[in-house]
Amino acid sequence: MKAAVLSAPNQVQLREVAAPTISQTGETIGDVEFVGVCKTDQQLTATGLEKELILGHEVVCRLPQESGHFALNNEISCGRCSYCAEGLTSHCPNLHELGVNDNGGYAEKIRAPRQSFHPFSFCNPTLGVLIEPVSCAVRGAKRILAATKLLAVTHPTIVVIGGGISGALISYLLTRSPEFKGEIYLYDITPDPIPWANNLGIQRIGKVEPDQAHGIIECSGSPNGLAIAFQAVRKSGFVCIYGVPQPELALPISAHELFMREIALITSFAGATEETMGAAIDYIRQDETFFEQSLGRSISLEQLPTELTTWNPQPGTRTVVNLGL
Ligand SMILES: [Zn+2]
Ligand SMILES: [Zn+2]
């Protein structure tokens, strides 16, 4: 089969490789239709991995002898450990992450347990690539709502840093939540328009001031975004690290200052569970028009190596690899 293989830092080649075969009972081989190109893919491409790997974790497939489209939960957990028992499958110590540490979806076929494929029915099946990122945002929004309960005010000012897809999905879920009564502002360094913010009625701010917000949601994953977050959060407020920070990045604040300013720090990572996948499918099905604007360019597998090494999506959108092109 055709696959895009990451072989070394910034080396992705389109190659003919052996198609996966079923190695354990309960597995199935999906025919890949669409894959979202995530910033995680770009970061893994830049650093390279210890072994050759097929990336791609936001995957939509067809399955043999079944009709319709299926979204992959790329996190394959053991189902036996204490974290799995608590439903925290992303924290399973035996986790296989397809497209991260095991072969993923940038190929014609992908192997996974049948139960990892979730059926969905949207007018536009390409939207299925958003199920995994929305699933992660469902968990993020839940943790952020819990953090707002610690605040002294019931109508907090929240600043979202980063107008990419993470910022869009978190903002969407908060504005749709009946529990959320605050005001959201968006800060992003790009001068380009960010359509999702307009559509949600979220105002953009050109600068973030100290003491500006009760809650800051850092969605950019950048050192600068993190530094701004801790400068701008009010005393007794919270910072949520949602964008994935680089492994070597330290917190730009001392433990003493964190204590004195009484800042609550939360993070959100573990969002690809059975429960959040189901919730994500419901959110998208109920509002396809909103999510359609998050779909960016559609590219072929042949175009993917260039896309991964010269990361340049339209602001706030997902580029999609269409295996049918
Ligand atoms: Zn992703
Ligand atoms: Zn486990």
* Residue 322 contacts residue 56 (beta carbons within 8 Å): no
Give the pLDDT confidence score for residue 311 in this predicted structure.
82
pLDDT in tens, 134-151: 999 999 999 999 999 999
Give the ligand with the smallest distance to the CA of 95. 2
Give the pLDDT confidence score for residue 111 in this predicted structure.
98
What single DSSP character describes residue 62? E
Angle of helix 274-286 relative to helix 131-148, nearest 10 degrees?
A: 100
Compute, in angstroms, the gap from residue 57 CA to the centroid of ligand 1: 6
Give the pLDDT confidence score for residue 247 in this predicted structure.
87
Instruction: Give me the sign of the Cα torsion angle 45, 48, 52, 58.
Output: negative
Give the pLDDT confidence score for residue 124 in this predicted structure.
98
CA distance 145 to 56: 30
Give the ligand with the smallest distance to the CA of 318. 1
pLDDT confidence of 315, banded at 50, 70, 90? confident
Mean per-residue pLDDT for 258-264? Answer: 98
CA distance 218 to 164: 11
Compute, in angstroms, the gap from residue 256 CA to the centroid of ligand 1: 34
User: How far, in whole angstroms, is CA 230 from its chain's centroid?
Assistant: 23
Residue intervals of the chain classified under CATH 3.90.180.10 are 2-121+294-322
pLDDT confidence of 199, banded at 50, 70, 90? very high
* Residue 180 contacts residue 147 (beta carbons within 8 Å): no
Compute, in angstroms, the gap from residue 91 CA to the centroid of ligand 2: 7
Compute, in angstroms, the gap from residue 38 CA to the centroid of ligand 1: 4
- Residue 17, number of CB atoms within 10 A of its CB: 16
Give the ligand with the smallest distance to the CA of 92. 2
Superfamily of the domain at 134-267 = NAD(P)-binding Rossmann-like Domain (3.40.50.720)
Compute, in angstroms, the gap from residue 211 CA to the centroid of ligand 1: 32
123: CB partners within 8 A, 6+ apart: 288
Give the pLDDT confidence score for residue 173 in this predicted structure.
98
**What is the SS3 assignment for 71?**
strand
How much of the chain exceeds pLDDT 70, in percent?
A: 100
Mean per-residue pLDDT for 22-38? Answer: 97
Q: How buried is 54 (Cβ within 10 angstroms: 0-12 exposed, 13-18 middle, 19+ buried)?
A: buried
pLDDT in tens, 49-62: 999 999 999 999 99
* Residue 167 contacts residue 159 (beta carbons within 8 Å): no
Mean per-residue pLDDT for 29-33? Answer: 98
Look up the pTM and report it: 0.95
Task: Please identify which residue in the block is written with the tokens 């100290």.
Answer: 210
pLDDT above 90: residue 271: no
Give the pLDDT confidence score for residue 126 in this predicted structure.
98
In which element (H, E) is residue 185 found? Answer: strand 183-187
Closest CA to 224 of 197, 268, 188, 254: 188
pLDDT above 90: residue 312: no
Mean per-residue pLDDT for 100-127? Answer: 98
Give the pLDDT confidence score for residue 314 in this predicted structure.
80
Compute, in angstroms, the gap from residue 76 CA to the centroid of ligand 2: 9
Whether domain 2-121+294-322 has CATH 3.90.180.10? yes
**What is the SS3 assignment for 141?**
helix
Task: Please identify which residue in the block is written with the tokens 């005010």.
Answer: 153
pLDDT in tens, 222-248: 999 999 999 999 999 999 999 999 889
Compute, in angstroms, the gap from residue 239 CA to the centroid of ligand 1: 22
Residue intervals of the chain classified under CATH 3.40.50.720 are 134-267
Give the ligand with the smallest distance to the CA of 93. 2
Could you give the C-alpha distances from 38 to 95, 245, 318, in angstroms and in order?
A: 20, 14, 7
